[in-house]
Amino acid sequence: MPVKVQHYLLKEDLKDPSSKPLYHLRQVPGTSQIQDISDIAKTIEKTGALSAEDVEHTMKAFIYELKKTLLRGDKVKVDGLGIFSTTFHSPGKEAEKDSTVKTINRVNIRFRVDNSMRLVNDSTATTRGGENNVVYVLQEPSSGGGGGTFAVTGVSLNDTPVPAGSGELNLTAGDTLKIQGTALSEAVIKANFATTPTGSYTDRNLSDLGTVSIAPTLITIQVTIAAALVTKLLKADTGATVYEFGE
């Protein structure tokens, strides 16, 4: 199944307000699903002789043994997948006596993918349709009535574009926040925000920000709340992030 991607604008230099915006690509928010062990086991059951319960038990046993091996400082090589290993970090000390195991402040699990598992972009691959090829399709905003798949394609504050990843969005009463996209009226969008720098960030309705007007391709919010620090927009039903402001 093709992976749907869309354009978004991001300033060339996020620290420079006058920096020119550049078009980038990202997967359409909400189109990526999480497959857990149970889901994978059920799929394997359909194509093999093992039951889903047997597959799930085997996978959980593998994870348990993988962890035990890594705890010994050993590596685990899974043919066709890659190599799991651990690394650690400890700050340097001038005196040898001060460099002890207690100075190890971070332990990381590393994974080096097997060559047979490396994926490529089908549109630039030497061999089209290869088993390791990822097919990407560009989903552009629809014109006219706003039909199509739900997607948030842009945000503006007081008619100034707000690129994804440009940093926390600060709103104050009197601002006009606009959310552009497709099929916006087919889903409920919430905003994750706090009202003070030290306050708690929670997922709240857009109406908590102000007066909301919704159309298929545009949501307009006349901000009435005194202040809001917004980190992201998300779908109310799934919790999936549809626009990330934070860097």
Domain termination site, one of 109, 134, 159: 134
Least-confidence region, from 121-125, 150-154, 167-171, 205-209: 150-154
Number of domains the chain contains: 2
Residue range 185-226, pLDDT digits in tens: 777 899 999 999 888 999 999 999 999 988 888 999 999 999
Say if 16 falls within a structural domain: no
Q: How far apart are CA 174 and CA 176, in angstroms?
A: 7
DSSP the chain: -PEEEEEEEEESSTT-TTSPEEEEEEEPTT------HHHHHHHHHHHSSS-HHHHHHHHHHHHHHHHHHHHTT--EEETTTEEEEEEEE----SSGGG--GGG--EEEEEEEE-GGG--EETTT-SSTT-TTEEPEEE-PPPPTT--SS-EEEEEEETTEE--TTS-PEEEETT-EEEEEEESGGGS-EEEEEESSTTSPPEEEEGGGTEEEEEETTEEEEEE-SSEEEEEEEEETTT--EEEE---
Q: Residue 74 sits in which domain range? A: 37-134
* Buried-exposed string 145-154: b where 16+ CB fall within 10 A, e elsewhere: ebebebbbbb
* pLDDT confidence of residue 148: 60
Per the CB < 8 A criterion, the answer to whether 106 and 88 are in contact is yes
Say if 30 falls within a structural domain: no
Say if 21 falls within a structural domain: no
Please tell me whether the overall predicted TM-score, pTM, comes out greater than 0.85 for this model. no
Cα angle value 52/55/60 (rounded, 5°): 125
Same domain for 123 and 173, yes or no, is no
Q: For 178, phi and psi rounded to 5 degrees?
A: -120, 135
Say if 48 falls within a structural domain: yes
Residue range 52-93, pLDDT digits in tens: 999 999 999 999 999 999 999 999 999 999 999 999 999 999
Domain termination site, one of 100, 134, 168: 134
Domain termination site, one of 94, 119, 134: 134
When the pLDDT of each residue in the chain is averaged and rounded to a whole number, the result is 89
Same domain for 146 and 230, yes or no, is yes
| CATH number, position 41 | 4.10.520.10
- Joined together, the tokens standing for residue 233 give 């927009």
Q: Is pLDDT of 34 > 50?
A: yes
Per the CB < 8 A criterion, the answer to whether 171 and 228 are in contact is yes
* pLDDT confidence of residue 145: 44
Same domain for 128 and 223, yes or no, is no
- Average pLDDT over every residue of 101-109: 95
Per the CB < 8 A criterion, the answer to whether 118 and 132 are in contact is yes
Say if 23 falls within a structural domain: no
